[in-house]
Amino acid sequence: MIIGTAGHVDHGKTELIKALTGIDTDRLKEEKERGISIDIGFAPFLLPGGQLAGVVDVPGHEKFIHNMLAGVGGIDLVLMVIDATEGVMPQTREHLDILELLRIKKGLLVITKIDLVDEEWLEMVVEEVKESLTGTFLSGVPIHLVSSVTKKGIKELKEDIARLAGSVLARDKDAPLRIPVDRAFSVAGFGTVITGTVLSGMVRTGEMVEVIPLGREFRVRGIQVHGDAVEEAFAGQRAALNLAGLEKRVVLRGSVAAAPGYFHPTRFLDVKLTLLSSASKPLVNMSPVHFYLGTARVVARLLLLGCEELAPGKESFVQCRLDKPLVAQRGDRFIIRSYSPMVTIGGGIILDEHPPRHKRFKSGVLEKLEDLQKEDPLPFILQKLNESQGAALPELAQLIKMGTLQLKDLLERAQKEEKVTLIGDFYVTVDSRERWEAALLKELERFHQAKPLWPGMQKAHLGGVLPRKLAGRTYDALLEHLKDKGLVDLRGELISRKDFSPSPTGGQEKKMEEMLRIFKKEGLNPPSLKDLWLSLGLKKEEGESFLEYLVHKGFLFRISEEIFLHSDPYFRCLEVLKEHFRANRSISLAQYRDLLQSSRKYAQALLEHFDSCKYTRRLGDERVAWKLP
C-alpha cells in the first residue's frame, strides 16, 4: 500500500511522516536550508500488525504543485494535513481538488501542531475543517489531532492507518508491469537506478523491462523495496530498479518502465474531462493547458468533441492533443492546469489512449465514448477488437494492456453474451464475423454468376475480400464455420456456394464435346490454348470456363497454366511412370521423355505436375516415387 500526504506548505507534512516512520523525507540540500519540501520524498512505514507500506511526502508550496502531482498519482490512501494554527489554506483546497479529480477513495484528516494552540482555538479549527470538506470524499472521515513534536495522537493515527490498510484493494499483479519513473540517479559501481510506484504487474531480477518513450529494453540487475534488496517487486510497492546499460541522462521523470511490448507512447488521448466549478472562466476549443498524468507533464490542446465551450462545473468528451508523447492507459486519471497563470482547473479519466483523430460533433464518435466511459472494460475490448479486426489472446492482451487471465474471463463472458466469437485461436466480434461471412458469400455469388461453368472459386482469390491479417488458420476456420452452417462446399483449393453445380447449355455442351475430341486426338501434343480458341471460334474467357468445367468433371487434366491433357493420355503417362518405378528407384527427365516418346517440354511439365501431386519427389536431377496412386 502507498500512503501519500497532501496539504498547504509548512503545515507539517514532512514532520508528521518523520514522527510516523522515523525518517526525514527531505533529502535535498535546498530543502534543508529553506525548511520546506521542494520535491517528493519517500519512506517505508511499518504499520501496527506488521504490514510494510510506502509513504510519499509531497511538497505543499504552490510553486511545486508539478512535483506534488508527480507523487500523488499512485497513492492508495491520503493523509490530508492541516496546520492547527492556520486552518484550511489555498493549497489545502487545491490539493483537495486534485485528490477528488484523481478519485482517491480513502483518506484521513490530520490536524498538526496542536501543541501550539489552545482547546478553544482547536475546536474552532476542527469545525472549519469539517465545513470545508463537506461533500468531498473526506467528509465524515476520522480527524486526528496530533503533535509531531510531543508525539501526541501519533499512536492512534498509526492504528487508524493500519485499520484502513486492511480495506485497500490489492493492485493487479497479473497485469503488465508499469512503473512511472519519479527519480533516476547514478550509484557508483552499479550504474543507473530508477524509482517509482509499481502501478501494475511485477518485476524480477534478471528480467527485461522497456523504458518508454526511450523505446529500449534493459536487464534488471537489482531491485530494492524500501531500501532492502529483493528478488521481485509487485503492484502496490515502491521499488528501485538498477537497470544494466541505462544512462541517467536519457531517462527523465515521466518516463515509464514497463513490460516489453505492451505500452507505446501516444500524442492523442480520448478523455472525459471535468472542469472545476472554481475555474475562473469557460474552456474554449483547442485551449492549451498543462496536462499531468502519473509522473509526466506535457502541454495539451483540448479538442471539445461535443460542445462549443465547457463551462465551470461541467463535463465533456475531449480529445487531448499532446506536444510530447507519453504513456497512458484506459482508466488513468489526469489533472489539467491553466496555461497561465498555472492553476488547477480540472481533470478526468482516459477512455482511449490510442484513438484516431476526431472531428467535432460526430454522433458516432460520441456514442463510442459513451460506451467507453462505463466502468465495465468489455465495451473497450469490443471496440479494440473491431479496430484491430480480431486478435489472438496474447496480441489482444498487449493491445488492452491487461493480464491474460482477467482478459480471458472477460472474453468468455462476451462469448456467452454472443458479442465475441473464437475463430480458431482468433477472437473477433460477432458483428465482424457476420460482416466477413456476408462478404465471402456475396463474392462467391458474384463469381458464380460471372463464371457459371467454373466449379468454384480459388480459395486464395476469395480470401482477398477479407482483411489481410485474416490469413492462414483464421481464414480456414472461418470457411469451416461457413461449411458447418451449410453455406459453402470446400473441395481442396476450390470453394463454391453450397449445392452449386455448373450446368452448361446444350450449345455449350456441343462445343465442349468438340474440345474434348481435339484433345483426345492430339494426345501428348495438345494444341496451344490460343490455337484452340481460334479453331473453335471461342473467346478466351468462354474457352477458359469450358476448360475449368472439363477439368472439374475429370475429362481433362491441368498439367500447367498452359498445358491440358485428355484423361486417356494422362493416365497412360501415369501408368508409364508407375511401370518404371516397379523396376527402378529413380527416373530422369531424359528417361521419361524417351519412355513417352514425347518432347522434353511435355515430359518436364508432366514430371513437375506429378511433383505437385506428391506422386514423385525431385532429388537433384532425378525423381523418386513418393505417394504414387
> Where does residue 408 fall: left (phi above 0), alpha (psi -120 to 50 degrees), or beta otherwise?
alpha
Q: How high is the pLDDT of residue 31?
A: 40
Confidence at residue 32, expressed as pLDDT on a 0 to 100 scale: 46
Q: What angle do CA 359, 365, 371 make, to 5 degrees?
A: 155
Say if residue 165's pLDDT is above 90.
Answer: no
Pairing of strands 344-352, 333-338: antiparallel
Per-residue DSSP letters for 422-441?
A: EETTEEEEHHHHHHHHHHHH
Tell me what the mean pLDDT of segment 577-588 comes to. 94
Q: Give the least confident one: 12-26, 49-63, 524-538.
A: 49-63
CA gap 334, 329 in Å, rounded: 11
CA–CA separation, 194 and 197 (whole Å): 10
Question: What percent helix, strand, coil does the chain show, rounded to 5?
Answer: 35, 30, 35
| Cβ atoms 45, 37 nearer than 8 A | no
Per this entry, what is the length of the chain?
629
Residues 330-368 pLDDT 10s: 999 999 999 988 899 999 999 999 999 999 999 999 999
- Across-strand partners of 274? 315, 347
pTM: 0.75
In this predicted model, what pLDDT tens digit does every residue of 407-466 receive, in sequence order? 999 999 999 999 999 887 889 999 999 999 999 999 999 988 888 888 889 898 998 898
**Nine-digit cell at 123?**
475546536
User: Could you read off the pLDDT of 219-263 as tens digits, one per residue?
Assistant: 999 999 988 899 999 998 889 999 999 999 999 888 999 999 999
Output the DSSP codes for 263-328: ---EEEEEEEEEE-TT-SSPEETTEEEEEEETTEEEEEEEEESS-SEE-TT-EEEEEEEEEEEE--
Residue 628, helix vs strand vs coil: coil
Spatial CA neighbour of 79 closest among 2, 150, 132, 22 = 2
Name 620's Cβ contacts closer than 8 Å, sequence gap at least 6.
none
Q: Model confidence at 65, in pLDDT bands (50, 70, 90)?
A: low
Rounded CA-CA distance 379/369 in Å is 10
Mean pLDDT across 538-543: 89
What are the start-end ranges of the E strands in 559-612? 564-566, 586-588
Instruction: Read off the pLDDT of each residue in 47-53 and give the average, rounded to a whole number.
Output: 86
Contacts of 14 (CB under 8 A, 6+ apart): 24, 25, 26, 37, 41, 57
pLDDT of residue 37: 53
Under a CB-based contact definition with an 8 Å cutoff, are residues 47 and 165 in contact?
Answer: yes
**563 has a pLDDT exceeding 90:** yes
d(CA 175, CA 202) in angstroms, rounded, equals 8
> C-alpha cell of 576?
508409364
DSSP letter, residue 619: E
Which residues are CB-neighbours of 366 under 8 A, at least 6 positions away? 305, 306, 317
**How much is the pLDDT for 541?**
87
- The percent of residues above 70 in pLDDT, for the chain, comes to 96
In whole angstroms, give the CA distance from residue 629 to residue 624: 14
- Which residues are paired to 241 by β-bridges? 194, 223
Residues 305 and 292: beta-carbon distance below 8 Å? no
**CA neighbor of 62 nearest in space, from 93, 17, 107, 25:** 93
Q: 469, 389 in Cβ contact below 8 A?
A: yes
What does the alpha-carbon distance between residue 278 and residue 275 come to, in Å, rounded to a whole number?
Answer: 8
- Of 538, 531, 595, the C-alpha closest to 562 is 531
Could you give the domains of the chain? Answer: 2-165 (3.40.50.300), 178-258 (2.40.30.10), 266-372 (2.40.30.10), 376-503 (1.10.10.10), 514-625 (1.10.10.10)
Q: What is the mean pLDDT of the chain?
A: 90
**E strand or H helix at 579, and its extent?**
helix 567-583
Please tell me the predicted confidence (pLDDT) of residue 158: 94
Give residue 66's pLDDT. 67
Q: 388 or 624: whose pLDDT is higher? A: 624
Please, which residues have CB within 8 angstroms of residue 165's CB and are 6 or more apart in sequence?
A: 1, 47, 51, 53, 77
What single-letter amino acid sits at 304?
L
Q: Are 113 and 147 in contact (CB under 8 A)?
A: yes
Sign (positive or negative) of CA dihedral 86, 89, 93, 94: negative
Q: What number of H helices and E strands is found in the chain?
A: 19, 34
The alpha-helical segments, DSSP class H, found in 104-244 are 119-132, 154-165
Q: Extract long-range pairs of 519-524: CB within 8 Å, 24+ residues apart.
A: 519/556, 519/564, 519/565, 519/566, 520/566, 520/568, 520/569, 523/566, 523/568, 523/569, 524/565, 524/569, 524/573, 524/596, 524/598, 524/602
